[in-house]
């Protein structure tokens, strides 16, 4: 067999192992981010003194009649040409 083929197969196997490791790390990162976001949300709800029932009622009322969204004001950009 061509030695280049074997070398490329070994490199590919190493790459697959690295990818698996990085995917596993990304999964941990995603879970950590979600947990931190959940903690922030719980903190905001508690800060407002809402009970779980009050929060559920608030969310249901917002779902039934959403708040109007103001269009964002676009900032003008001035581009300059450099020669």
CA distances from 7 to 4, 15, 19, 27 (A): 5, 12, 18, 30
Domain assignments of the chain as residue spans, ordered by start: 3-62
Rounded Cα distance between 19 and 83, Å, is 44
What separation, in Å, do the N-terminal and C-terminal C-alpha atoms of the chain show? Answer: 57
Q: pTM of the entire structure?
A: 0.63
DSSP assignment, residue 71?
Answer: P
User: Confidence band (pLDDT; 50, 70, 90) for 67?
Assistant: confident
Q: Is the pLDDT of residue 32 over 90?
A: yes
Q: What is the dihedral of CA 40, 44, 46, 52, to 10 degrees?
A: -90
User: What pLDDT is stored for residue 48 in this prediction?
Assistant: 95
């Amino acid at each position: 067999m061509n030695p280049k083929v074997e070398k490329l197969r070994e490199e590919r196997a190493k790459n697959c192992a690295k990818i698996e490791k990085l995917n596993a790390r990304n999964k941990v990162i995603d879970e950590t981010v979600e947990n931190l976001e959940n903690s922030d949300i719980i903190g905001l709800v508690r800060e407002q003194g809402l009970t779980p029932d009050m929060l559920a009622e608030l969310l249901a009322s917002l779902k039934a009649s959403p708040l109007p969204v103001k269009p964002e004001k676009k900032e003008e950009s001035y581009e300059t040409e450099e020669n």
